[in-house]
Amino acid sequence: MSRGVRGATTCTANDEKQMIRTTKVLVEEMIDKNSIDPTDVSHVFISVTKDLTATFPAKALREIPGWTYVPVMCMAEIDVDNSLPACIRIMMVVNTDKPQHEIKHIFHNEAIKLRPDLIKGELR
């Protein structure tokens, strides 16, 4: 069965190294908390807000061993008034036997505001 694993983080600057670093830290925690093997990943969508233009955050996944063949696509997040700036959002689709309530969604930095009911994958 396929499940979506959600993650999000923010950056403090439109800087290539920071975008890659924060994305990699986020994805590594998503992998760890959900015991994800790259061969079980169908695809990964990454969206960024319009103020993050320094690089494609998908580059971060290429730094993780075993993730070479995982399809990853970056796109622009819709520009909603008063939305969270400098935000990178991830939707990873994985094949897993876990029920939906056992999936750990990960939010870092200011992105914890996106889902106040979920903090680093734990229900409040």
Note the Cα 43 to chain centre separation in Å.
12
What size, in residues, is the chain? 124
Q: Which residue has the higher pLDDT, 63 or 117?
A: 63
The CA distance from 69 to 41, in Å, is 10
Q: Is 124 annotated as a binding residue?
A: no
Average pLDDT over residues 46-51: 98
Q: What is the pLDDT of residues 71-112, one digit of tens each?
A: 999 999 999 999 999 999 999 999 999 999 999 999 999 999
Contact 114, 26 (CB under 8 A): no
CATH superfamily of 2-119: RutC-like (3.30.1330.40)
pTM score? 0.92
Q: 23 in helix, strand or coil?
A: helix
- Does the pLDDT of residue 121 top 60, yes or no? no
Q: What is the pLDDT of residues 49-79, one digit of tens each?
A: 999 999 999 999 999 999 999 999 999 999 9
Q: 66 in helix, strand or coil?
A: coil
Q: Is 89 annotated as a binding residue?
A: yes
Token pair, residue 110, equals 């200011």
